[in-house]
Amino acid sequence: MAVEAQKIAAPKPARGLRRPRPGFATTALLAPPVLWLGIFFLVPVVLIFLYSVNIFAFFPGTQGFSLDAWENFLDGSPFLDLFWKSIRMSLIVSVVSVVAAYPIAYYLALIASKRKYVLLLLILAPFLVSYFLRILAWKVILGDQGVVNTFLYWTNIRAEGDPVSWLLYSQFTVILTLIYVYVPFVALPIFVALESLDRRLLEAAADLGASRWQAFRKVTLPLSMPGVVAAFIFVFIPTIGEYFTPLLVGGVDGTMFGNAIADQFGQSLNWLNGSVLSFFLLVVVALLMGVFARYLTIRRVATG
């Protein structure tokens, strides 16, 4: 009897449960951004891919599916060497920017207390100035008659008329300028990660006899790693295809992959090669975003 009573009292499983269908209001809200994304992102990507396999061509003539341009690019092309050079420069910029921004974010989040938001606004103040003007300022600072070389002349470290040539129009200039541009931006995600840190963990580490360095290495740094990784992504992904900064201060030695893409579409009018380079960069960035997103998700689960 008890078993039969339990069977009667047990709720019956619901049948035919379905998720509520999105209503007209939801569809109306989602339609504009989806349409915008489709027209201005997906359609250009498809067109670039079609150009890269010679289905479309800039100049009239016979078109047909061909992977010759891809084979030429992947088989020891100078553009592939330029891509790896851009990767190397982007890695340097990303690592140095994160290392330089971490102490700033640490001070703002854990030490500055009442003044942190005022100092944060001061750090972000350069964003109120045109990007073009900030880059030109570095040309004035690092030029042959700029502030640095003028100081070297004045102190007799360098002879008059014998400037340090690699200060401008070189890989060093591009890397230095990009670090300057991205450090304030990189400090934000690290600041957010450190500010959300539970201070009681640091107090517990101190009560257990940990030094400040040990508490930082075993508590603060691991818990702030999601912000560090996010900051690294914010720098690394955009700088791979950087165009404007190398154009202004890079010269021939500081040319990056984005400049090669622009030259293929612009001066050379070789849309076939330009499409191959563009689509290759898009695939690499998508793969990197997938890897980084998976890492961030794992870190969130592990620290949540």
For residue range 180-228, what is the model confidence (pLDDT) as tens digits?
Answer: 999 988 999 999 899 888 888 888 888 888 888 898 988 999 999 988 9
Both structure tokens of 193: 């990660």
**pLDDT reading at 75 higher than 80:** yes
Over residues 110-114, the mean pLDDT reads 82
Contact indicator for 85, 175 with CB cutoff of 8 Å: no
Tokens 């010269």 identify what position?
Answer: 251
Listing DSSP states for 158-205 in one string gives S-TT---GGGSSSHHHHHHHHHHHHHHHHHHHHHHHHHTS-HHHHHHH
Residues 45/50/54/59 CA torsion (nearest 10 deg): -70
Look at residues 133, 161, 132, 137 and name the one whose alpha carbon lies nearest to residue 149. 161
pLDDT tier for residue 283 given thresholds of 50, 70 and 90: very high
**pLDDT of 1 above 50:** no
At 65, give phi and psi (nearest 5°): -60, 125
In 65-93, which positions are buried (b, 16+ CB within 10 angstroms) versus exposed (e)? Answer: eeeebbeebeeebebbebbebbbebbebb
Name the pTM for this structure: 0.83
**What is the percent of the chain where pLDDT is above 90?**
35
State the Cα torsion 124-125-126-130 to the nearest 10°.
120
Nearest Cα neighbor of 236 from 284, 295, 192, 169 is 284
What's the pLDDT score for residue 304?
43
**Is pLDDT at 276 greater than 60 in this prediction?**
yes
Give the pLDDT score at 203.
85
pLDDT per position as a tens digit, 136-171: 899 889 988 888 988 888 988 888 888 888 888 999
For residues 103 and 277, the answer to whether their CB atoms sit within 8 Å is no
Alpha-carbon distance 254 to 244, whole Å?
11
Residue 276 sits at the vertex; the CA angle it makes with 59 and 248, to the nearest 5 degrees, is 95
CA distance 49 to 55: 9
Contact 262, 243 (CB under 8 A): yes
Please state which of the ranges 111-115, 116-120, 139-143, 251-255 shows the lowest mean pLDDT: 111-115
- Residue 93 gets which letter from DSSP? H
Pick from 146, 142, 173: nearest CA to 254 = 173
- Among candidate residues 232, 248, 238, 246, the one with its CA nearest the CA of residue 299: 232
Instruction: Say if residues 177 and 183 touch (Cβ distance below 8 Å).
Output: no
DSSP per-residue letters across 103-162: HHHHHHHHT-GGGHHHHHHHHHGGGGS-HHHHHHHHHHHHSTTSHHHHHHHHTTSS-TT-
